[in-house]
């Protein structure tokens, strides 16, 4: 079981469903949410700012990320989160793209980001989480 995960999606119903499925599957102890990529980056920026260069240990080791969101979408989030300033502080944080589209080009593009573990189709399910447990173990 993971200590902390982050779900990034602009749809409150999707976020509620994610939290419910993750809790029932006993996949994570704590689930935090963000409504877009900018909110998610702000969360990580706050962690870095509050730790002032100290080792940051309590942060989400897994992010479920939607691609199509207002303000800042998933691709833009991944572009920013790939930069050294984030990777050096959160190097073992992995991303699962959770999208309603299964465009082969999107799947191919997602694989170009080293932190992306998988590209899954919404909605999240207990079976998905069970298969992720083996990947994350």
Q: Are 121 and 14 a contacting pair, CB within 8 Å?
A: no
Reported as a single tens digit per residue, the pLDDT across 111-127 is 999 999 999 999 999 99
Average pLDDT across the chain, whole number? 92
Reported as a single tens digit per residue, the pLDDT across 80-105 is 999 999 998 898 999 999 988 878 99
Reported as a single tens digit per residue, the pLDDT across 13-40 is 999 999 999 999 999 999 999 999 999 9
17: nearest Cα among 3, 33, 41, 4: 33
């Amino acid at each position: 079981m993971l200590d902390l995960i982050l779900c990034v999606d602009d749809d409150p119903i999707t976020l509620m469903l994610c939290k419910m499925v993750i809790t029932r599957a006993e996949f994570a102890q704590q689930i935090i949410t963000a409504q877009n990529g900018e909110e998610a980056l702000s969360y990580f920026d706050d962690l870095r700012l509050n730790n002032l260069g100290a080792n940051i240990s309590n942060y989400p080791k897994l992010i479920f990320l939607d691609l199509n969101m207002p303000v800042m979408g998933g691709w833009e989030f991944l572009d920013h989160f790939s930069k050294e300033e984030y990777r050096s502080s959160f190097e073992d944080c992995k991303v699962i793209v959770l999208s309603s589209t299964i465009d082969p080009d999107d799947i191919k593009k997602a694989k170009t980001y080293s932190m992306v573990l998988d590209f899954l189709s919404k909605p999240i399910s207990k079976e998905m989480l069970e298969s992720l447990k083996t990947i994350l173990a």
